[in-house]
């Protein structure tokens, strides 16, 4: 979803938020940028209606910050539009428990246990002067919040399991102290049996150690803790889908997208489909109830048809219907309101088949859309002038809709950690024949920008010139990178006839390669005078600011997200390191990027921006080639050579420098609350409220949207 997507494999849906180093630059730049009519300042709506006293930063714990965002312009919407957004809001949240269960089969049991003892734990803090017990209680609070933030017991980004710092004994004491009826006990199970079962799941770091394993040479399914497969090996799963794949099919369905792969009593591999009457049926029944109400107040016939087909998909689980829905959704371009809702992101599946539930409810920011629309309208020019091989270019780029949206609520895999850009649908053939929607989540980006991150720019940027450029232009540069990554990045290029989809050909490397491809399209054009001509940048200094940031992040600052000694596994981090490290290595002869040591600190300095652009173009051509031709060996070589290994000395240095800044490297959001106003049993208006207590929102969600059994 931007600057590095958090989207799916082949043509991804989403871009992750910027690192805090980027946020630091954005914070300054949005205050000082003077640019063209389409500026990098916070969106026009936000600038006009945001409350000056609104507190964006709520709290910080572990490696996480919890932020808040506003929904500017909501009050000006028509009553029917607000009513529609309210129904979509309820639909989004009704499916949130699905994400927990998809991430790990024990997540709902863990979360519900933690929620059952939350109040008792708060009493330990307020009712005793015993500092040791207060310390234990605070540590359990942090763990509970981490589970909420990550939708389970594995880190939302690294996917590594985290464990409480409190003792198992303290946890057990609390569990025993509450009413057993509030605990997620299975039929006939005692509290003691619950503790025996759940304690190692929570406290043993070696039990289900990683949600998504991407280490080459290992069985990626049996070593991953996600709930997408059970009792099935990687070879068995790959063979199962190899039989389903038809390379002659020009419009293949997304096999495996909405099911769990397991074995029946006879040992045969079967898919448990996520649909009404199937797995997750209880939650999906609630989702389609609210979608059905949204159908009745849809803005346009196109939007109504799309919502009807989404209901049909959840009802039947039919993947052809999912394609029909996506086509209808792409064609709905006139509605002010919009929603992403479905099984979309496949990063949680090491094989790239199964998708996590997510929803983003929004409406168009009309003023801010001018910037991204200017790029989308020129999509064919960008494709024609791309450095990729002629046979890999689309002769006719169709149906690209680009806009900046104001987010109303996010749920499932999109919350609390959120994308900042989205490009959908993921099916290559739909994008080629029908087009795609590319969006920038404007008010989310603005909230990141207003959450002052501190001095990371001063710490990691090499020179005053680089810092000043970032302060002036990094806000606009980051937004444009997001725009182009989504609008012309994922939408560019085509796969050769007869070559399978990237998840079939590039396998576990497909996601990182796709994100690299989209990043490189954006990077290549950020230094093109076409952007000056379009009026979206004042000068190429904007491109230089993004080049500085990308190299600094890919080679150095993103390492703050890894524990010392770890290699890079997350697809977006692999992508960024691969691109930056490849350019650094290939440009050594001409000293394009220089590694500098000053006062015992390491810096990376770009010496020749035009030559770096040329290198980005070369790598883009290669990534498109291996995608178009399905060259698995080349994809593996690129990622394993440049994207995985970490220099331990540099890693240690970066962690030490970053620790002094006291900045959490990850951030997510408390969601706004929509409150309907009724007269005579009908909704006549909807109000927006802004909760400030993360824990209270999670507890409220846990009660209100509890639609799934503990085990599914």
What average pLDDT is seen over the chain? 91
Confidence of residue 47 (pLDDT cuts 50, 70, 90): very low
* Range 128-137 contact pairs with CB under 8 angstroms and sequence separation of 24 or more: 133/170, 136/166, 136/167, 136/170, 137/166, 137/170
Residues 507-531: pLDDT tens digits?
999 999 999 999 999 999 999 999 9
Please classify residue 78 by burial: count the beta carbons closer than 10 Å to its beta carbon, then call 0-12 exposed, 13-18 middle and 19+ buried: exposed
Residues 375-396: pLDDT tens digits?
999 999 999 999 999 999 999 9
| Domain locations along the chain | 57-64+73-211+673-705, 365-668
pLDDT above 70: residue 50: no
Cis check for the bond before 393: say yes or no (omega within 30 of 0). Answer: no
pTM across the whole model: 0.85
Taking the CA atoms of 313, 103, 363 and 327 in sequence, report the sign of the dihedral they define.
Answer: negative
Residues 571-586: pLDDT tens digits?
999 999 999 999 999 9
Residues 429-481: pLDDT tens digits?
999 999 999 999 999 999 988 886 557 899 999 999 999 999 999 989 999 99
At residue 298, the pLDDT reads 98
More confident residue, 168 or 5: 168
- By percentage, how much of the chain surpasses pLDDT 90? 85
Instruction: Kindly report the length of the chain.
Output: 712
At residue 449, the pLDDT reads 83
pLDDT above 60: residue 28: no
In the sheet that 666-670 helps form, which strands lie side by side, from edge to edge?
Answer: 57-61, 64-68, 666-670
Phi then psi for 416, rounded to 5 degrees?
Answer: -65, -30
* Tokens coding 597: 């040591």
325 closest CA partner among 254, 395, 394, 383: 254
At residue 452, the pLDDT reads 60
Confidence of residue 52 (pLDDT cuts 50, 70, 90): low
User: For the residues 326-351, what does the mean pLDDT come to?
Assistant: 97
* Rounded distance between C-alpha atoms, residue 293 and residue 274, angstroms: 22
CA atoms within 13 A on the CB side of 302: 13
């Amino acid at each position: 979803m931007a600057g590095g997507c958090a989207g799916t494999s082949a043509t991804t849906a989403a871009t992750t938020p910027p690192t805090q180093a980027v946020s630091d630059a954005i914070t300054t730049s949005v205050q000082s940028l003077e640019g063209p009519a389409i500026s990098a300042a916070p969106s026009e709506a936000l600038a006009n209606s945001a409350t000056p006293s609104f507190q964006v930063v709520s709290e910080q714990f572990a490696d996480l910050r919890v932020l808040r965002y506003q929904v500017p312009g909501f009050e000006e919407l028509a009553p029917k539009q607000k009513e529609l957004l309210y129904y979509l809001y309820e639909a989004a949240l009704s499916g949130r428990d699905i994400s927990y269960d998809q991430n790990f089969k024990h997540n709902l049991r863990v979360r519900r246990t933690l929620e059952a003892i939350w109040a008792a734990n708060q009493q330990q803090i307020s009712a005793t002067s015993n500092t040791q017990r207060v310390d234990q209680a605070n540590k359990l609070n942090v763990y509970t919040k981490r589970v909420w933030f990550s939708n389970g017991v594995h880190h939302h980004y690294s996917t590594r399991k985290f464990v409480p710092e409190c003792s198992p004994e303290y946890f057990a004491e609390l569990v025993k102290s509450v009413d057993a009826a509030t605990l997620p006990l299975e039929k006939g199970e005692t509290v003691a049996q619950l503790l025996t079962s759940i304690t190692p799941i929570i406290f043993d770091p070696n039990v289900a150690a990683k949600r998504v394993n991407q280490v080459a040479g290992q069985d990626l399914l049996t070593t991953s803790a996600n709930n997408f497969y059970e009792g099935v090996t990687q070879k068995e799963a790959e063979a199962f889908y190899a039989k389903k794949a038809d390379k002659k099919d020009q419009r293949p369905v997304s096999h495996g997208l909405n099911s769990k792969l397991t074995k029946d009593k006879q040992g045969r591999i079967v898919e448990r489909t996520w649909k009404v009457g199937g797995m997750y049926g209880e939650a999906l029944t609630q989702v389609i109830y609210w979608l059905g109400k949204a159908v009745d107040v849809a803005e346009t016939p196109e939007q109504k048809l799309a919502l009807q087909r989404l209901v049909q998909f959840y009802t039947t689980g039919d993947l052809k219907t999912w394609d029909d829905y996506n086509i209808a959704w792409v064609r709905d371009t006139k509605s002010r309101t919009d929603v992403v809702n479905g099984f979309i992101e496949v990063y949680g599946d090491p094989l790239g088949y199964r998708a996590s539930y997510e929803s983003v409810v929004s409406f168009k920011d009309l003023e801010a859309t001018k910037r991204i629309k200017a790029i989308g309208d020129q999509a064919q020019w960008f494709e024609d002038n791309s450095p990729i091989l002629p046979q890999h270019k689309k002769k006719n780029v169709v149906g690209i809709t680009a806009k900046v949206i104001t987010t109303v609520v996010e749920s499932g895999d999109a919350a609390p950690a959120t994308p900042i850009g989205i490009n959908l649908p993921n099916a290559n053939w739909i994008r080629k024949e029908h087009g795609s929607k590319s969006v920038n989540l404007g008010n989310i980006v603005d909230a990141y920008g207003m959450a002052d991150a501190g001095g990371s720019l001063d710490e990691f940027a090499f020179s005053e010139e680089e810092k000043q450029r970032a302060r002036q232009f990094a806000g606009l540069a980051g937004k444009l990178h997001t725009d182009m990554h989504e609008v012309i990045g994922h939408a560019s290029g085509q796969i050769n006839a007869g070559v399978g989809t990237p998840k079939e050909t590039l396998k576990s490397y497909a996601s990182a390669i796709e994100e690299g491809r989209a990043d490189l399209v954006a990077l290549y054009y950020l230094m093109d005078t076409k952007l000056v001509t379009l009026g979206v940048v004042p000068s190429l200094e904007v491109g230089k600011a993004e080049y500085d940031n990308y190299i600094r992040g890919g080679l150095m600052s993103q390492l703050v997200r890894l524990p010392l000694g770890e290699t890079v596994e997350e697809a977006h981090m692999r992508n960024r390191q691969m691109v930056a490290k490849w350019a650094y290595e290939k440009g050594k002869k001409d000293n394009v990027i220089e590694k500098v040591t000053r006062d015992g600190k390491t810096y990376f300095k770009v010496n020749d921006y035009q030559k770096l652009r040329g290198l980005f173009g070369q790598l883009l051509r290669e990534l498109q080639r291996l995608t178009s031709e399905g060259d698995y060996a080349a994809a593996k070589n690129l990622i394993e050579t440049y994207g995985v290994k970490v220099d331990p000395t540099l890693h240690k240095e970066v962690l030490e420098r970053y620790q002094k800044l006291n900045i959490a490297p990850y951030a997510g959001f408390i969601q706004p609350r929509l409150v309907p106003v009724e007269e005579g049993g009908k909704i006549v208006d909807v109000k927006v409220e802004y909760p400030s207590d993360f824990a209270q929102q999670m507890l409220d969600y846990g009660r209100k949207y509890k639609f799934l059994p503990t085990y599914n």
